Structure 1
């Protein structure tokens, strides 16, 4: 009986892990590039000791302003994994999730041209452990992304939500 229950729990965990991977794989390429940008910054941060994996999107929006230019806003969760940052991991998406650490709440906004992230205006990335995120931080994120679009003459990115 206990072995059957353990098998059921393990199968559920495997399905949950596969679901998170499928969620990332289902993102449009332009959103994947933003998640990759965030992951790159987390990997290079000295205070981050484990790999993270994409968990799910909370809010997504994009504005096409013509000539192949799009402004993207993406708010999502990353979940820490059991794989240490210093270890050689060929595919961090295979690292099992940790349940003893809080989720990372991330927001990113950036401009793409012809599908590539542009250096100007500089992409905005903000991640913080979910319990530490304040209402003021959320407001600052949104205002920064709105300003990015107003400065370029584009319509406000956050006025249209696709997620």
Structure 2
């Protein structure tokens, strides 16, 4: 009986893990670029000790400015895995999620041209463990993304619903 319950639990955990990976795979390429940039910055940060994978999107917005230029905002969760920091994984089964560490709450805003992230203005990436995120930090994130350089008369990034 206990073995059956354990088997069902493991199958459910595997299905949940695969579903989270499918969510990343379903993201448009422009949003994947922002997630990848965020994970790259986390891997380069000395204070981060875990390997993270995309869990789910909370909010996305996208403004087309014309001539192939877009401004994107993406608020999402990353979840720590059991793999070592910097692991390159080819399958979600390689790095299963950990459930003993908090989620990483991330927001990224950036400009793309010809489907590539532009360096001017510099992309903004902010991640913090979910329990430590304050309302003031949320406000700062929003203000920073609204202040990105736009063409005269262009709508602000967070005014779009998408």
Q: TM-score range by the shorter chain?
A: over 0.9
Equivalent residue number for residue 39 of structure 2: 39
Equivalent residue number for residue 126 of structure 1: 126
Q: 1:113-153 deviations in whole A, cap 9, x for unaligned?
A: 0100000000000000000000000000001001105x443
- 1:11 and 1:53 map into 2 onto residues whose CA distance is 20
Residue 106 of structure 2: SS of its match in structure 1?
Answer: strand
Within 5 A, what are the aligned runs for 1:83-122?
Answer: 83-85=83-85, 89-91=88-90, 93=92, 94-122=94-122
**Preserved CA contact (<8 Å) 2:71 2:111:** yes
Residue 50 of structure 1: SS of its match in structure 2?
Answer: coil
**Preserved CA contact (<8 Å) 1:63 1:71:** yes
Q: 1:52-73 deviations in whole A, cap 9, x for unaligned?
A: 0000000000000100000000
| Offset at residue 92 of structure 1 (A) | 7.3
Q: 1:56-114 deviations in whole A, cap 9, x for unaligned?
A: 0000000001000000000000000011216x544374301111100000000000001
Equivalent residue number for residue 66 of structure 2: 66
- 2:89 and 2:22 map into 1 onto residues whose CA distance is 18
- 1:13 and 1:161 map into 2 onto residues whose CA distance is 33
Q: Which has the higher helix share?
A: 1
| Offset at residue 3 of structure 1 (A) | 1.1
- 1:75 and 1:56 map into 2 onto residues whose CA distance is 9
Residue 60 of structure 1: SS of its match in structure 2?
Answer: strand
**Preserved CA contact (<8 Å) 2:89 2:95:** no
Residue 14 of structure 1: SS of its match in structure 2?
Answer: helix
Q: How many residues align structurally?
A: 160
What 5-or-longer segments of structure 1 have no aligned partner? none
Equivalent residue number for residue 157 of structure 2: 157
**Preserved CA contact (<8 Å) 1:51 1:92:** no
Runs of 4+ displaced beyond 6 Å: none
